[in-house]
């Protein structure tokens, strides 16, 4: 199974960029990197995903290194409402199906401070 | 609107009783998943199903059972064999087919407390 490693916690000042790193050194060629976040006692919310190119949407940017062994989620202007646990996930393909297991790590608790 | 619904949001049961958690989706997704989350911890996979009438064990399946008789529904039964059932349970679904880049949708969770 491809696994990810994230720092357990990070702080960020409100209005500044939050850069959340993730290592996925065993990622294989067809596996995508996904980011989700979970606000306390709610279901995780999808943020962004990518394969090898950098991606940007209205919520965040995703930077994937050229060797694909790590990535960084960037929240360009963090707000207090961005305080959450952020999960980096690599899709684990199962058999001939292209809907494999979703394996979550411990995630990074981001605390945005005023 | 399409979505994934878990019910109830809070559930209390006496020790030794089986309890079934509901998960329904109207997104026409093929794959569904059950996770358990303990305080301050990440999500651990209990069971998953990629197609109707088929399911596989995840990392912590002992003490749980599932069924997948309909595409829309993937109920989880927490049996009396589960030693520490008190937890937050999350259900998710993913569309199958096409490229490998589909996102998962999560329900809002069921918080089970066994007393």
Q: What is the pLDDT of residue A95?
A: 45
The mean-pLDDT minimum among A1-5, A32-36, B76-80 falls in A1-5
pLDDT higher than threshold 80 for residue A66: yes
Q: What is the pLDDT of residue A28?
A: 82
Find, in chain A, the residue whose alpha carbon is nearest to that of B30. Answer: A99
Q: What is the pLDDT of residue B101?
A: 55
pLDDT higher than threshold 90 for residue A3: no
Please name the helix (run of DSSP H) or strand (run of DSSP E) that holds residue A84, with its range, or none.
Answer: strand A84-92
Average pLDDT over residues A53-60: 94
pLDDT digits 0-9 by tens, B14-68: 998 999 999 999 999 888 999 999 988 889 999 999 889 999 999 999 999 999 9
Tell me the nearest-neighbour CA distance from A37 into chain B, angstroms. 11
Instruction: Give the SS3 label for residue A82.
Output: helix
Q: What is the pLDDT of residue B63?
A: 96
How crowded is residue A95: how many other Cβ atoms within 10 Å of its Cβ?
Answer: 8
Token pair recorded at residue B53 = 């009438």
At residue B97 the predicted structure's pLDDT band, cuts being 50, 70 and 90, is low
Tell me the nearest-neighbour CA distance from A99 into chain B, angstroms. 6
Q: How many residues does chain B have?
A: 115
Between B35 and A96, the higher pLDDT residue: B35
Q: What is the pLDDT of residue A1?
A: 52
Q: Do A103 and B102 touch (CB under 8 A)?
A: no
Instruction: Give the SS3 label for residue A81.
Output: helix
Q: Using an 8 Å CB-CB cutoff, list chain A residues near B56.
A: 94
Q: Do A103 and B45 touch (CB under 8 A)?
A: yes
- Tell the burial category of B33 from Cβ atoms under 10 Å away from its Cβ (0-12, 13-18, 19+): buried
- Residue A48 CB-half CA count within 13 A: 22
Between B37 and A105, the higher pLDDT residue: B37
pLDDT digits 0-9 by tens, A4-33: 999 999 999 999 999 999 999 988 887 888
Q: Are B24 and B76 in contact (CB under 8 A)?
A: no
pLDDT higher than threshold 90 for residue B73: yes
Q: What is the mean pLDDT of chain A?
A: 88
Q: Do A101 and B58 touch (CB under 8 A)?
A: yes
Q: Do A98 and B99 touch (CB under 8 A)?
A: yes
């Amino acid at each position: 199974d491809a696994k990810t490693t994230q720092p357990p916690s990070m702080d960020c000042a409100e209005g500044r960029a939050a850069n959340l790193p993730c290592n996925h050194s065993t990622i294989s060629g067809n596996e995508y990197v996904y980011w989700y976040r979970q606000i306390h006692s709610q279901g995780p919310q999808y943020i962004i995903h990518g394969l090898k190119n950098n991606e940007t949407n209205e919520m965040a940017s995703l930077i994937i290194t050229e060797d694909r062994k790590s990535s960084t989620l960037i929240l360009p202007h963090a707000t207090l409402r961005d305080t959450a646990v952020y999960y980096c996930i690599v899709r684990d393909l199962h058999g001939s199906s292209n809907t494999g297991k979703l394996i979550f790590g411990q995630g990074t608790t981001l605390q945005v401070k005023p | 609107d399409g979505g994934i619904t878990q019910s109830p949001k809070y559930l209390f049961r006496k020790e030794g009783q089986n309890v079934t958690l509901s998960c329904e989706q109207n997104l026409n997704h093929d794959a569904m998943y059950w996770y358990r989350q303990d305080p301050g911890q990440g999500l651990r996979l209990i069971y998953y199903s990629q197609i109707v009438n088929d399911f596989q064990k995840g990392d912590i399946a002992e003490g749980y059972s599932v069924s997948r008789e309909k595409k829309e529904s993937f109920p989880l039964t927490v049996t009396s064999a589960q030693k520490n059932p008190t937890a937050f349970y999350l259900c998710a679904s993913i569309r199958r087919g096409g490229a490998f880049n589909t996102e998962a949708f999560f329900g809002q969770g069921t918080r089970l407390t066994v007393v």
